[in-house]
Every structure is written in C-alpha cells, then in structure tokens.
C-alpha cells in the first residue's frame, strides 16, 4: 500500500508539472503554468509537487522548497489594509525573519512599512512592478516588469532585491529563465492556502491547525498580509511549529 501511495503521489506531481516540461533546443518553452504544491506529501510531510518543481526547474534557480531544515515564512504584499504592522510586531516579538514580496504599487505607497521591514532584518522580494503574468509578456515587457521595480527599490531604499515570486503564481520555463537572467532566484512555495480574500476569511481554528500542521524541513510558506485570520493566528502558528521541533529562517537557496 505504501508503494502504491508513493507511486500515485509521484504521478500526481508529474501531471501537475508536465505542461511546462517541453524544452526547445533553441529557446525555453513559454507554456503558461499555474503553480500549486498539490496535496500529496512524502513521509516527511513535504509536498511531492514542490520537490518535483525543484527537480525540474532548479537549473533556472527556481525553488518551491529549500535545502535547509528551517521554515521560511513569506508574505505577498499587493496592497495594505492594516495588518502588516501587527504581523511585523509578532515577528519581532518571536524573533522570526520573513520575506515580503512587494508589488510596485506597494513599494511606492507604503514606504514607512517597507523601510521597517528592511530595518528589522527581513528580506524584500520582487513581486513585479504591475503584478503582471510574465508568460503573457514580450521579452522586453517581462524584463521591464522585473527590473523597473528592482531599480525603484534600489534607488528609493538602497536595497537590492534577489528573490522573485511569479505574480498570480503563473510561470513558464522561459519566464523562469528570464528571471534568472535578471540576476534573480524564483521562490514559489511548498505551502499556501486560501487566505487572500478579505471578504471571505478562513476559519481561525481550522486555519491554525492547517498552517501549523503543514510544517516540514525546508518549507516555504506563502501567506498574505491582508488576511485578518493570518494576523490573528501567527503568534500561535510560530509557537506550534517550534513546539513540533522546527525553527524559522530565511531562504537557503
């Protein structure tokens, strides 16, 4: 039964990643794919789909899970609605560093919060100037989407970003190559859940159990700072994950 289950998990992950697997001898494939870690996990609670992503796209410096033992918390910052400051308060209190992926609009409108992230030792990541799907852009537009935000953050904050998260979770082999050519590493995730809809927030108790229970070595968590639920459960999530024997850290890729 264990062998059959592992085979099913592997096939599920392969099917999830297959649309992007074709590689042209001349140019990487630009078939648009929507990333998801899948539900199948191995004996260490790590999603099989995340490991398959690493195996398939690691040559493009693209990762869904890290090589380290620690768990990396990441937050996508599309807009601000009052929860980022208390999230930063919790991270400071718990001595946890995280990665905050900024869109251009966020970087321009929330300078005090962005500067606080930098001052408190967090990593600032690139989530695209306009949060545009790279596979849908021309080569010139894709580079502009990445580098215009890179240059703005460098000029405004004196900070040089090095991690990119694909807007909308959409990528292609070509897009990953474009990101790499801009000097970036791509970080997707090995855990995410439906936390972004501010008008339909997930149940606090169920979310606490789900987020805490997803821990595994090298995990990359995707959370959204617009989520009231995330803001409420974050202190307990950190405590629960530490109680399970894990620690938090920045990306080891």
Residues designated catalytic: 76, 224
Going 17 to 138 to 144 to 149, the CA torsion angle's sign is negative
**Rounded distance between C-alpha atoms, residue 243 and residue 144, angstroms:** 44
* DSSP code string of 14-28: HHHHGGG--B-SSSB
- Of 241, 246, 242, which Cα lies nearest the Cα of 213? 241
Cβ neighbours for 27, distance < 8 A, ≥ 6 positions apart: 174
Q: CA–CA distance from 66 to each of 13, 58, 90, 148, 247 (Å)? A: 18, 11, 24, 27, 14
The region, left, alpha or beta by phi > 0 then psi within -120 to 50, assigned to residue 95 is: left
- Of 10, 230, 55, 30, which Cα lies nearest the Cα of 133? 30
What's the token pair of residue 149? 């935000």
**Rounded distance between C-alpha atoms, residue 216 and residue 68, angstroms:** 10
**Rounded distance between C-alpha atoms, residue 98 and residue 82, angstroms:** 18
């Amino acid at each position: 039964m264990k062998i059959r289950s592992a085979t099913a998990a592997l096939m599920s992950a392969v099917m999830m990643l297959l649309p992007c697997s074709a590689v042209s001898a001349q140019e990487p494939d630009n078939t648009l794919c929507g990333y998801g870690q899948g539900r199948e996990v191995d004996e260490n609670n790590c999603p099989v789909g995340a490991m398959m992503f690493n195996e398939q796209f690691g040559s493009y410096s693209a990762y869904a899970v890290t090589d380290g033992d620690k768990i990396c918390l990441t937050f996508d910052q599309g807009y601000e609605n009052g929860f980022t400051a208390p999230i930063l308060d919790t991270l400071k209190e718990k001595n946890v560093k995280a990665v905050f992926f900024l869109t251009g609009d966020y970087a321009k409108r929330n300078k005090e919060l962005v500067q606080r992230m930098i001052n408190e030792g967090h990593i600032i990541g690139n989530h695209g100037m306009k949060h545009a799907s790279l596979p849908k852009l021309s080569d010139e537009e894709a580079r502009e989407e990445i580098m215009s935000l890179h240059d703005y953050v460098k000029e405004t904050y004196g900070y040089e970003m090095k991690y990119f998260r694909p807007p909308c979770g959409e990528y292609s082999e070509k897009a990953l190559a474009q990101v790499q050519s801009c000097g970036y590493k791509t970080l997707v995730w090995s855990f995410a859940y439906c936390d972004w809809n501010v008008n339909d927030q997930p149940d606090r108790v169920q979310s606490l159990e789900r987020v805490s229970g997803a821990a595994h070595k090298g995990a990359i968590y995707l959370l959204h700072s617009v989520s009231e639920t995330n803001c409420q459960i974050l202190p307990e999530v950190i405590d629960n994950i530490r109680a399970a024997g894990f620690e938090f850290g920045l990306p080891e890729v």
